Amino acid sequence: MHFADHLNRFDERLSGAQRGYAMPQLLIEQELTSGPMADLPPHQQEAVYREAMKERQLQPRTNQYMRKGMRIGELQAEAEDFFNPYIQNNELLAAVKNREAEKLQKLGAIYTLAVDPEAKWLDPEITAYMLRILQLAQQDWIGKEHRSSNVPAQYQSSVQMLRREVLPGGLLYEADADGVPADKLRTKNRAWRKLIKHLNTQDEDMKGLRIAAKTMLDILNVTEAKIGKAVTFYLTET
């Protein structure tokens, strides 16, 4: 109830800023809060409420557009790129990725207007915060999606630790074009220590471990580079 009251107040503020007709007034006009409609069962009241929401979208607005600066464009690009390490041949994740920039813009606009209903520009700080919320909400879902895909059996239990380094804040995600030395990955993350060990397996009887490790690199969208005796890993550009 308290949240509904808050949304009503927000809606009235938006209406006052000419950003849409107020829902309370629309509901009164459809007699949801008075007259015979007030006594309808809850599910029928909900149907009327949905019709009122559609009606609100049809109301003329003179101030509905919001501008976005270069920083918002950068954040939208980051929202899309968040999925790059995971997509591979997964059409579902590819489809979700294509909606990320749009979703972020809508959330940024809603919360910018919550602070200032008369705002003309998307707020970069608010939008950046909403991006982090989106990413946190998606990480567990992405992990579950991947565990049901082609992750080799040897890495089913450690895929989250491996993925940690390709997510924001991880060694590979934050690395520059030179990548991350193998020794640094070994020291920082024990799951990577096991993967690198399997990559370096020379015993032909253990060839399956080497193949599984290379498959895992592909899933993580990570490339191994050898320059002399040095081995470096970096995220593959997509």
**Mind listing the pLDDT tens digit for each residue in 134-147?**
887 777 666 555 44
Predicted confidence band at 238 (pLDDT cuts at 50, 70, 90)?
Answer: very low
Q: Per the structure block, which two tokens stand in for 174?
A: 């934050």
Which of 34-43, 134-143, 157-166, 192-201 is the least confident region?
A: 34-43
C-alpha to C-alpha distances, 83 to 36, 96, 184, nearest whole angstrom: 50, 9, 25
In contact, 159 and 146? CB cutoff 8 Å: yes
Structural domain for 47, as ranges? 2-58
Please tell me the distance from the alpha carbon of residue 214 to that of residue 199, in angstroms, as a whole number: 7
* Structural element, H or E, at residue 53: helix 42-58
Q: Which of 110, 130, 147 is the last residue of a domain?
A: 147
Do 163 and 122 sit in the same domain of this protein?
no
- What local confidence, expressed as pLDDT, does residue 165 receive? 92
The answer to whether residue 109 scores a pLDDT higher than 80 is yes
Q: What global pTM score does this model have?
A: 0.48
When pLDDT is cut at 50, 70 and 90, the band that residue 89 belongs to is low
Q: Is 136 within the bounds of a domain?
A: yes
pLDDT higher than 90, residue 122 = yes
pLDDT for residue 125? 94
Query: Residues of 43-71 as b/e, b for ≥16 C-beta within 10 angstroms?
Result: eebeebeeebeeebeeeeeeeeebebeee
Residues 45 and 110 reside in one and the same domain: no
For residue 47, the surrounding DSSP H or E stretch is: helix 42-58
Are residues 39 and 84 located together in one domain of the fold? Answer: no
Predicted pLDDT at 142: 63
What is the mean predicted confidence (pLDDT) over 193-210? 83
Stronger pLDDT, 87 or 184, i.e. the higher one:
184
> Residue 118: what pLDDT?
87
pLDDT at position 7, please? 74
- Of 110, 127, 147, the domain-final residue: 147
Give residue 202's pLDDT band: very low, low, confident or very high (50, 70, 90). confident
* Domain contains 63: no
**64 inside domain:** no
Instruction: Give the range among 75-84, 125-134, 178-187 with minimum mean pLDDT.
Output: 75-84
Q: Is residue 77 one of the residues assigned to a domain?
A: yes
Is residue 65 situated within a structural domain? no
Pair (161, 213) in one structural domain = yes
pLDDT per position as a tens digit, 1-42: 466 677 777 887 887 877 777 777 777 666 555 555 556 666
Looking at the structure, do residues 94 and 53 belong to the same domain, yes or no?
A: no
What's the rounded mean pLDDT across residues 114-132? 91
Between 148 and 70, the more confident residue is: 70
Q: How many domains does the chain have?
A: 3
**Which of 200 and 22 is assigned the larger pLDDT?**
200
Which comes out higher in pLDDT, residue 152 or 163? 163
The answer on pLDDT for 214 being more than 50 is yes
Split at pLDDT 50, 70, 90, the class of 156 is confident
48 and 110 part of one domain: no
Same domain as 46, residue 12: yes
Boundary residue ending a domain (115, 147, 179): 147
